[in-house]
Amino acid sequence: MRAVWIVSPNRRAGGAAFFGWASFAGSDRVISVLGGRFCRGAKDENGGIPGLNQLARTMQPNQAEYFYPARRLEMIWGAMNNASTAMMATSWDMGSISQNISNVNTTGYKRKETLFKTVMSESKAGPSTHSGKLNIFGVKTADRYHIEQQGTITGSNWNTDLAINGRGFLLVAPPSTTTSGTTVSSNAPTSASVDDPASVLYTRDGSFHFVAGPNQEKYFTTAGGNYVLGWMADDTGTIDQTGALTPVYTLPETTMEGRETTEASVFANIPRDATLSASNFNSTSTFTDPLGASQTLTLNWSRVDATTWTVTPSVPAAVGAVSSAAMTVTMDSNGNITAPATFAAEPVTINWDDGAYGAATADSATTVNLSSSKPSIPMQKIYLEVFDSNFNSHTVTLGFERSGINTWYMHVLPGSNATTGANPTPIDVTFNEDGKMVTGSPASLALSWTSGTEVGTATVALDMDGMTQYDGDLHIDNIATDGYGSGTLISSGFNERGEMYGQFTNGKTRALFKLPIAQFVAENNLEPISGNLFRRSREAGDITVSSVENAVGAPRFSPSSLEASNVDIGQEFTKMIVTQKAYTTNATVFKTADEMTTVARDLKA
């Protein structure tokens, strides 16, 4: 719209006489004349307006054949236009402020800031050839999101909550929908690719919710119903970080298969001055001679090795002599005699003295219970928990018997239900003068247990390099084994690497899945879907998806924590006051410009 002065042609040299204001719509139609009569009309072939010329003739007979566009009212129109655009811009800014304030408690919300920039609204030729152009500048808005500005990390009471401390985003995917008749249901997405902006979205809101799956899965989702993406672990807890991203979940009935013990290590000190086991030992028993008198039978036990003894019986010389040969007795690590089979009533033949009993008295035999007269074996005991091939737990005892200076026998006692005859052979262990073990480690323990018809076995590589022989008492620093029994999931939680670890009834933990982290070149240019959910855009640049350990800038996950919004409530209230004042002021400008046009309208010729 433009305005012109209507003037008398023969007075242009001396100054135009004012006949009225004319407003034009476009370039062809007059819509009003201010200060004169109302008229309409199209321009004729000479650029004149018949109705306007008729008005001029009425006011100035014979001297109004043309009209002349001299002074204009662009500045008044510009003031109204600028004020209206400024009011719209400040209204938009107030919307941004209210959005920020309303989301001050929204987890992971990113503040929206409305900026203003100058824009040319009109450019007109000046009223004379010497005045140049008349440029009128208005204002428009440009929004900026403070996505890369991190909010405060605060603690949470949920072990499934997660915050990112540093740059990066969690990856989520919208649910897939299926329709059956009139029923629409949502399910976990079957595929997701970061190359498809619609299939993968990004957020820093780690306040996870849960949705049940068709097979009792407990899927991790956001408050908006998007499924959290990550890498699932296999049954051993191994995670393939090169695999496809899938919705992550846990199973309430997740079980952990047990593991047979194959390795064990012992860090302990056995006392240098422990009781020395006897290499020779005498025991006695009584028997009745042919005259009915009680006599003493002496058994001399002589140590051959860890499990073998030579037992030599004898009687007093006045009684006679034992004609039986010396016995070889074998004992297992538990001290039980395994040979001879007649150990409970081992026969001993006595050649009676002729002087005491007469030459006619024949040799006779008596029996002796070797088990009741055997030597005791002092041991320093260390206990290992060993799981067999059926994942059943057994307590295995390592019994260290001091056999000499710096030398020991290590007896391996499998415990209850040990398979008969399957006990490991004792191991010779030697220490040097510095108290360090020099022989005996590593040792291989072949173990077997029988319970009913079930047989369980375990072959354990035992590392004893950490054992010492110093003065003092038996002291155990650490015992480590790699076996465990079967277990059922009882709880789960995140760690700083974004791994969801499950705790099982067997006391073990195992990775269930791992969350990756997404980073962009210019994350402030992501497309906001909501205040804490974003879509990939071309302006945001390339995306990198990796584990948090390999991410740029060394970000870390913060378990049992959430990221608060990055809204500064004090700053928003200050901006609200300034924005309100700007709106009011521009409204005053608009009103004033309107009053000025009213004055111009009411001017008379």
Least confident of 69-83, 248-262, 453-467: 69-83
In a domain, 502, yes or no: yes
The confidence band for 336, taking pLDDT boundaries of 50, 70 and 90, is: confident
Helix (H) or strand (E) holding 229, with range, is: strand 227-232
Considering only residues 80 and 466, tell me which one the structure prediction assigns the higher pLDDT. 466
Give 339-395 pLDDT, tens digit per residue: 998 888 889 999 998 888 888 788 888 888 988 888 888 999 999 999 999 999 999
In a domain, 544, yes or no: yes
Find all residues with CB under 8 Å of 201, minimum gap 6, and list them.
171, 172, 173, 174, 226, 529, 533, 534, 535
- The torsion angles phi and psi of 98, rounded to 5 degrees, stand at -65, -35
Question: What distance separates the 2 farthest-apart alpha carbons in the chain?
Answer: 188
Same domain, 295 and 366: yes
Same domain, 297 and 414: no
Of 485, 501, 535, the one marking the end of a domain is: 485
Same domain, 576 and 554: no
Same domain, 219 and 267: no
Indicate the number of domains in the chain: 5
| Statement: residue 523 has pLDDT above 80 | yes
Helix (H) or strand (E) holding 99, with range, is: helix 74-102
Same domain, 517 and 531: yes
Average pLDDT score, the chain: 84
Q: What's the chain's length in residues? A: 605
Average pLDDT over residues 179-205: 85
Least confident of 26-35, 152-161, 339-348, 412-421: 26-35
Q: What is the DSSP string of 375-438?
A: PP---EEEEEEEE-TT--EEEEEEEEEEEETTEEEEEEE--TTBPTT-PPPPEEEEE-TTSBEE
Of 71, 100, 119, the one marking the end of a domain is: 71
Find the CATH number of the domain harbouring 478.
Answer: 2.60.98.20
Residue 249's identity, in one-letter code, is Y
Same domain, 99 and 226: no
| Statement: residue 91 has pLDDT above 50 | yes
CA dist list (Å): 515 to 168, 189, 244, 529: 12, 17, 12, 22
Same domain, 106 and 129: yes
Same domain, 395 and 355: no
Q: How far apart are CA 525 and CA 523, in angstroms?
A: 5
Find all residues with CB under 8 Å of 288, minimum gap 6, and list them.
294, 295, 366
Same domain, 48 and 98: no
pLDDT score of 4: 43
Q: How far apart are CA 463 and CA 602, in angstroms?
A: 109
In a domain, 352, yes or no: yes
The whole domain housing 191 covers 153-257+490-563
Q: Are 74 and 126 in contact (CB under 8 A)?
A: no
Same domain, 343 and 307: yes
Half-sphere exposure of 288 (CA within 13 A, CB side): 3
Least confident of 73-87, 331-345, 500-514, 565-579: 73-87
Of 433, 451, 485, the one marking the end of a domain is: 485
In a domain, 230, yes or no: yes
Please identify which residue in the block is written with the tokens 């390795």: 263
Give 213-261 pLDDT, tens digit per residue: 888 899 999 988 999 999 999 988 899 998 899 999 998 888 898 999 9
Same domain, 210 and 171: yes
Q: How far apart are CA 326 and CA 309, in angstroms?
A: 10
In a domain, 55, yes or no: yes
In a domain, 605, yes or no: no
- Tokens of residue 207, six digits: 């306040």
Considering only residues 80 and 578, tell me which one the structure prediction assigns the higher pLDDT. 578
Same domain, 286 and 357: yes
Q: How far apart are CA 524 and CA 149, in angstroms?
A: 9
Least confident of 58-62, 196-200, 249-253, 371-375: 58-62
